[in-house]
Structure 1
Amino acid sequence: MAEVLVFHHGLGLTAGVREFAEQLRRAGHTVHAPDLYEGQVFGSLEEGAGYAENAGFDTIIARGAAAAERLAAELVYVGFSLGVLPAQKLATTRPGAKGALLLEACVPASEFGAAWPHGVPVQIHGMDADPFFDGEGDVEAARALVATVTDAELFLYPGDRHLFTDSSLPTHDDRAAK
């Protein structure tokens, strides 16, 4: 079984993200889901994004890195939307990564100043008409990553929902999330 570090999206550590982590635990994995928002959960992406902007995206990434520091290096990193930032950075720059699961976001590999590490598998999942994933360049970054990394896969689902993987939100799409 794997040791997994899960980073929440821009609304915070919601019940759906906690449930995702619990499902992995029930499957036998050791799972960590740090709260990068210091206990705050927001009702809208605008509010959550405002919090992240005020705190600073570098601060959010640093909080994710701090959570990883006390753990073994051999981790699988999972990021939901905004949580892709620390997940992708750590998978790219922290030696020992076992894999990454990037949900509903992906940033260009150049963002973290290093190429994707050889032998570290990555999956990227998003909806093909999600205004954030498709409309803000994430899908292009995902395609570029898949084109240059041997063990990389992009999964696109029909739809326009963002945060479709969070079971606690009205945007949840059970079929695509499974």
Structure 2
Amino acid sequence: MDWLRKLLHPHAAPARTARLDVRHARHVAALHHLGGFARGWEPGECAGLLVDGAVVADGVFAGNEPNPAGFVMSRRAVDEAEILSIVVSPRQRGSGLGRALLSAHLSQLAGMGIAHVYLEVEDGNAAADRLYRHFGFREVGRRKGYYPKADGTRATAVTMRLDLA
């Protein structure tokens, strides 16, 4: 599939990652709404997170686009961090942006002295599971009925951990 992207867009600039700030709140909220979550984040919630000193937020930008095509946000506590959310625009999924984004984010967390990173993912989300396992995350628990679904049912959350140090 990568060869097809290169054929169709031979001059596309490579993806870049950068820290996000409150100016990106609207775009982060819009991406979160596209993430398939039962309740998306509103711009005000995103702004609050983006100004929180304990939150690390990175975006991935496709080519020369001024707005992020994806984001990841973590909250730090001492030497641990929890990934609160990671979303790549549905139009950009499968292009490697999620991998570039998570790689840059984990490197940044490691540079801040974070030793352990946690996250939760809905059981059955194969694409996310593959991404996390690629980076060495491993399952450490399950929370049955944790995620509310649009149809009123509840899904199991798989808790994962990555040791950076």
Give the TM-score category using the shorter length. Answer: 0.3 to 0.5
TM-score, normalised relative to structure 2: 0.37
> By percentage of residues, which structure has more helix?
1
TM-score, normalised relative to structure 1: 0.35
> By percentage of residues, which structure has more strand?
2
Greater Rg, structure 1 or structure 2? 2
